[in-house]
């Protein structure tokens, strides 16, 4: 219940309501972009400051290794399930979207943990960055394989040329948002406690208000993208609701086996359950032009993101507390 009283969550619900009733309320795109970059910068700084205090430990190595494993496992499982009802390209696009992560969902989860005084490692921001790219690469490989197979069967040149992995890798690892996150972590790591005191008015005091404003915009976008699911196969809606829960449970079991602490476990559950609506769609628009963006955007932003923000985060925290 406390999650529903959080001002940031309430602003998200308000934004979703405004979008559902087709209000002309709108956050200008440059402001929305600034808010997104600010949140990533503040999160990176916080992670860097925490890493400066803790140093690199076995627990950190295990957390990062598990994050990469989940980023490979989840899209592979998703692709196999989706291929039972959807074509190769749609399945690959959705699997990539749900195999990657949502930075805003992660940031909201860190605020939830702060609210309830649940400690977590600053290195989890690095885990988020590492989980963004593997699913994209797998989707491109699957799509290129499907195009090649189609070209051989028809003995004609495929309509769309295969997208080179080198180009995708370059775009993934030089993406501005990801670079800002990792660069901010490095700044926090190097500057340490002195830097933390200097940056506190910017990266700590303003953070909650900035997050609330950004979630207002995300609520508007969620309501509008939900319309993109009209006429889509039933499996898309079922997957958008069921996959967050199943992915979170997979993460919980693995965290239990490895012995990760509560805070890090909750954040890995959130990362595993989230879906990308910025980084992956931006790549898929030209890497998988066969797929209508309304499909994966409607699923990730119209269903999964609201579910995780409003219900998922407290649910994952409750499950983790029961198991650990």
Q: Can you point out the beta strands (E) in the chain? A: none
Q: Is 117 left (phi over 0), alpha (psi -120 to 50) or beta?
A: left
User: Which segments of the chain have a pLDDT < 50?
Assistant: 152, 154-158
Phi/psi of residue 86, nearest 5 degrees = -120, 165
CA dist., res. 301 & res. 287, Å (int): 20
Which residue in 70, 116, 34, 104 sits closest to 243, CA to CA? 70
Residue 56 burial by CB count (10 A; 0-12/13-18/19+): exposed, middle or buried?
exposed
**Tokens matching residue 192:** 């340490």
Which residue in 100, 146, 80, 77 sits closest to 283, CA to CA? 100
In the chain, how long is the greatest CA-to-CA distance? 65
Architecture of domain 2-9+29-323 in this structure: Up-down Bundle (1.20)
Contact 125, 43 (CB under 8 A): yes
pLDDT, position 239: 94
Q: What is the DSSP letter of 191?
A: H
CA dist., res. 271 & res. 74, Å (int): 11
* Claim: this prediction has a pTM higher than 0.75: yes
User: If you count them, how many residues does the chain have?
Assistant: 324
CA dist., res. 245 & res. 184, Å (int): 31
CA dist., res. 266 & res. 305, Å (int): 16
pLDDT, position 32: 86
CA dist., res. 72 & res. 134, Å (int): 6
Three-state DSSP class for residue 156: coil
Phi/psi of residue 55, nearest 5 degrees = 75, 180
Q: What is the DSSP letter of 1?
A: -
CA dist., res. 200 & res. 148, Å (int): 53
Contact 11, 219 (CB under 8 A): yes
pLDDT, position 158: 46
pLDDT, position 166: 64
CA dist., res. 142 & res. 196, Å (int): 44
């Amino acid at each position: 219940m406390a999650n529903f009283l959080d001002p940031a969550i309430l602003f998200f619900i308000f934004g979703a309501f405004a979008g559902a009733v087709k209000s002309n309320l709108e956050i200008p795109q440059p402001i929305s972009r600034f808010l997104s970059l600010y949140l990533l910068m503040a999160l990176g700084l916080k992670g860097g400051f925490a890493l400066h205090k803790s140093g690199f430990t076995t627990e950190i190595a295990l957390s990062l290794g598990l994050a990469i494993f989940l980023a490979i496992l989840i899209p592979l499982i998703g692709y196999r399930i989706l291929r039972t009802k959807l074509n190769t390209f749609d399945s690959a696009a959705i699997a990539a979207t749900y195999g990657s992560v949502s930075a805003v969902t992660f940031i909201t989860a860190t605020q939830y943990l702060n609210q309830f005084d649940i400690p977590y490692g600053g290195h989890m921001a690095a885990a988020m960055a590492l989980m963004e790219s593997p699913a994209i690469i797998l989707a491109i490989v699957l799509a290129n394989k499907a195009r090649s197979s189609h070209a051989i069967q028809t003995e004609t040149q495929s309509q769309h040329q295969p997208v080179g992995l080198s180009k995708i890798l370059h775009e993934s690892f030089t993406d501005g948002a990801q670079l800002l996150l990792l660069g901010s972590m490095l700044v926090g790591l190097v500057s340490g406690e002195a830097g933390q005191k200097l940056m506190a008015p910017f990266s700590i005091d303003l953070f909650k208000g900035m997050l609330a404003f950004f979630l207002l915009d995300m609520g508007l976008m969620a309501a509008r993208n939900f319309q993109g699911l009209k006429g889509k196969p039933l499996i898309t809606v079922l997957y958008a609701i069921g996959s967050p829960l199943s992915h979170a449970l997979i993460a919980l079991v693995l965290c239990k086996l490895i012995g990760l602490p509560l805070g890090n476990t909750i954040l890995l559950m959130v990362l595993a359950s989230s879906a990308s609506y910025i980084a992956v769609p931006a790549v898929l628009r030209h890497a998988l032009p066969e797929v209508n963006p309304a499909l994966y955007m409607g699923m990730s932003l119209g269903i999964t993101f609201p579910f995780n923000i409003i219900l998922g985060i407290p649910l994952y925290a409750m499950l983790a507390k029961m198991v650990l």
